Amino acid sequence: MSVNPVYVVIDLGSSTIRGLAASKLPDGSVSPIAIAEEPAEDDIRHGAVYNIDRVSEKIARIVKELDERLEEENLRTTSLYVGISTPSLRSEEEVINAEISSEGEEITDKHLDYIQKKIDELHYDRRTIITLTKPYYEVNGSIEESPKSLIASELVAHVSAITVKERVYESIRAVVEDRLKLKLAGIFASPLAEASLSLSDTQKELGCVFVDVGGGTTSIVIYLGGVFRRLRVLPFGGKNITSDLMDMQLSEEDAEEIKLNYAGATTNADREKTFVINDIDGVSERTIRVLDVNRYASARMKEIIANVVATVNHSGVLNRMEGGYVMVGGGLSLARTEDLLRSEVRNFSNYTQLLQYADKDNALSYEKEYRSALALAWTAGENCTEALRYTIEGLTAKDPATPEVEERVSPQAVAPEEPQRGVNSRKKKSARKENSGLFSIGNFRDFFNQFSSTEDELEAYDLDDQDREDDLDDL
């Protein structure tokens, strides 16, 4: 039975909703326990909940599947972390100038407390702050990680508030807490969680853009000087190519299949190639040129990349990205995407170091589609499960004079499973369910007999048989 915290995360994607239950190894790396997924369909639009009831049903099925595996660890899910990537998700960059003498003075707790007070007061109309990045400081124009005790004539703090529209936050809360009756442990920005683990310290120092082209959104995370600078999410991705192809009088199903089988990011290949599909009447056939498909796909991919570059340029750091672009996501799966990227961006790579933060001996760590969920689990800090039922060890951890038989216990409070001394081995076989954590009346009598030496003490627990059986069933 697991005695470590277990983190349960839901990654809300525009194409797929994914769930992951994971623990962490002593070195902090994430070790997946179980994964599950459901198609998002139209219930998630551009990374945000659109149909609360249907999304609730899908996440309920995911949690049920994860719990079937967690039951082997005597655990069940009680709370969820949710990761999002929606156009309303963005960073709000704040600059806070501390009051300090222009002639120079020592930076003390007074200056840092002033900055923290200003950070605590941050508020944005109709937006919810889901996290605050760690501040970084400029002391006399130079970035300093720890400014305390330095002599300065200028102290500036930079902090980013990651915010989302209130209605987006509220829809997630409604799904988790109102519909599923679970605790919402937190909402994370999936792009930021993934980027923070995917980029090396050198890339972050030199300046690097992490880009995730998904189904309905394209996320952009910028690092420079070793610190996070900006997060933006664009409202288009691979699904837009499917929508574009539907202009060729195709159903959504046919357009998606054609995109996967024939579309390329450039028009310089398969120019004479054609293929045949059933026409919209369901009887006759229709011939389509691959060149026409590629024209749609190429135009959309160029638009996506152009908007990424424009976003970086708007941030004022376009010419300082010496670390280049790290491009990931299912939206980049078209043929010849690398050829297009070489012509449109300065330099790029598809490699990330995220696997360094995962359990390399666990096969689930290599599920490429779950990289974002792995990053969410690594970011999580609160245990998301509780014990299903008592074990002998859980009972012995309590005062036998005041047994609280209906109280649930956290996994940390449950001792390792091993034989309990003083319990008659013959009577143990009479337990109603082997290894279930439920015990026969005789076991309870023997258990308390270890600590009671008089008949009067035993009589305090000598309830009638039916009442005792009812109490056991309640467990």
Give SS3 for 272: coil
Between CA 73 and CA 156 the distance in angstroms is 49
Provide the b/e sequence for 351-377 (b: ≥16 CB within 10 Å). ebebeebbbeebebbebeebbbbbbbb
Identify residue 277 by its one-letter amino acid code.
I
Q: What pLDDT sits at residue 246?
A: 96
The backbone region for 151, taken as left when phi is positive above 0, alpha when psi lies in -120 to 50, beta otherwise, is beta
Q: Which of 81, 83, 19, 90 is CA-nearest to residue 48?
A: 83
pLDDT digits (tens, 9 = 90+) for 278-290: 988 888 999 999 9
Q: With residue 289 as reference, give the H or E element that holds it.
A: strand 285-289
What is the C-alpha end-to-end distance of the chain, expressed in Å? 18
Q: What is the pLDDT along the chain (475 residues), one digit of tens a residue?
A: 456 899 999 999 999 999 999 999 999 999 999 999 999 999 999 999 999 999 999 999 999 999 999 999 999 999 999 999 999 999 999 999 998 988 899 999 999 999 999 999 999 999 999 999 999 999 998 988 889 999 999 999 999 999 999 999 999 999 999 999 999 999 999 999 999 999 999 999 999 999 999 999 999 999 999 999 999 999 999 999 999 999 999 999 999 999 999 999 999 988 899 999 998 888 899 999 999 999 999 999 999 999 999 999 999 888 899 999 999 999 999 999 999 999 988 789 999 999 999 999 999 999 889 999 999 999 999 999 999 875 555 555 444 333 333 333 333 333 333 333 333 333 333 333 333 333 344 444 444 444 444 344 334 334 444 443 444 344 3
Between CA 216 and CA 88 the distance in angstroms is 13
Where helices occur in 251-289 by DSSP H, the ranges are 252-262
Sign of CA dihedral 371, 339, 306, 252: negative
Give SS3 for 123: coil
Phi/psi at 269 (5° precision): -145, 155
Is residue 57 within 8 A of residue 49, CB to CB? The reply is no
Where helices occur in 30-148 by DSSP H, the ranges are 52-70, 109-120
Question: pTM of the predicted model, to two decimals?
Answer: 0.79
Phi/psi at 314 (5° precision): -65, -25
Residue 26: CB partners within 8 Å, gap ≥ 6?
none
pLDDT digits (tens, 9 = 90+) for 432-462: 333 333 334 444 444 444 444 434 433 433 4
Between CA 13 and CA 213 the distance in angstroms is 11
Q: Which of 176, 196, 183 is CA-nearest to residue 383?
A: 183
Q: What pLDDT sits at residue 91?
A: 97
Structure-block tokens of residue 190: 């999936």
